[in-house]
Structure formats: C-alpha cells, structure tokens
Amino acid sequence: MKRFLLVSLLVIVALTGMGQTREFQEICDKYKEHEDVVSLRVNRFGCFFLSLFMPAGKESEVVRNFIRHSSSFQLLVTEGEIVRDVTKEIKNYIKKDQLEELLNVKDKKDEIKIYTLDDKKVIRQLFISVVDGGKEAVFLQVKGKFSMKMIQDLAKVNR
C-alpha cells in the first residue's frame, strides 16, 4: 500500500510539473495553424547547432554562451484579430506558472515585458512579451540554465 501511494504521488507530481512547463507550447500548438500566426520551436540540439554558426568576436562569444546554456527557444508571432485571444492566454500562462516580472517598458500603446522563472541562483526560463498596441504581438520563451551575470552580459551586447 505504501508503495502504491508513493508511486501515485510521484506520478501526480510529474504530471503537474509537465503541465506547467508545457503550457506555452500548448498555446503555440493551438494557434500555429491560424493564418495570422507564426510559430517557431528550436530544441536543445538546435540550440547547440545554432551556436556553431556564430561569428568570432567577444560579443558573439557572449551570445554563443547564452545559446549553449539554452535548452529550447519557442517563438510565437501574432497579428490581427487573434492578438487579443493569444494575449489573454499568455497572461493566464504567466500567472499560472508564477513568472516574475523583471522588466516592463510601456510607450503609448506598445509594451515590452520580460519575465523570469528562477530556481535559487539559476534562471530556468526567460519569457519576453512584446505587444504593439494590440495589432501585433511577439512572445519568446527561452529555457535553460542561466546566471544573472549571463543575462547582464547579454543585455550589454551591441550597446
């Protein structure tokens, strides 16, 4: 009986974790067939492969390091009437996964937000939301293991 309860508990914990980490992917999958939506997903091997094609130089090394520490990139670009529906689902996703707002820039109707999901000193996820007055929206999720210094170095590139 104890073994059954332990296995049941582990299954529930695993399914709960999978549900939380897959929600943005499910939003992308739901809308990717819509004509006003572009969806792109790059997995761990794709991230490594992409890092091989970075040109030489100090700034490129910072970007290459960031890409190599990434386990996946997922991009969702929407425009037109679908923006409102997708944005609403994204807000629910951010709230459900308890992403922490790192940056919020608003200029008239345009808004850029950067969220993080961290585990002590390691940032596990960056989520970037760019909404252009309700006409167009871009959402980028980057998963991996990043230090805050890595994020700071990336922000300094091309300044």
Q: Which residues of the chain have pLDDT under 50?
A: 1-21
pLDDT of residue 74: 93
pLDDT of residue 14: 41
What tens digit of pLDDT does each residue of 37-55 get?
A: 999 998 888 877 777 777 8
pLDDT value for 154: 82
Do residues 148 and 95 lie in contact, with contact meaning Cβ atoms separated by under 8 Å? Answer: no
Q: What are phi and psi of 120, to 5 degrees?
A: 65, -110
Number of domains observed in the structure of the chain = 1
Is 119 inside any structural domain?
yes
For residue 9, being part of any structural domain is answered with no
- Give residue 116's domain range: 22-156
**Position 13 in a domain:** no
CB atoms < 10 A from the CB of 112, how many? 15
pLDDT at 2: 36
- H or E, element range at 26: helix 2-31
Which pLDDT value is given to residue 86? 93
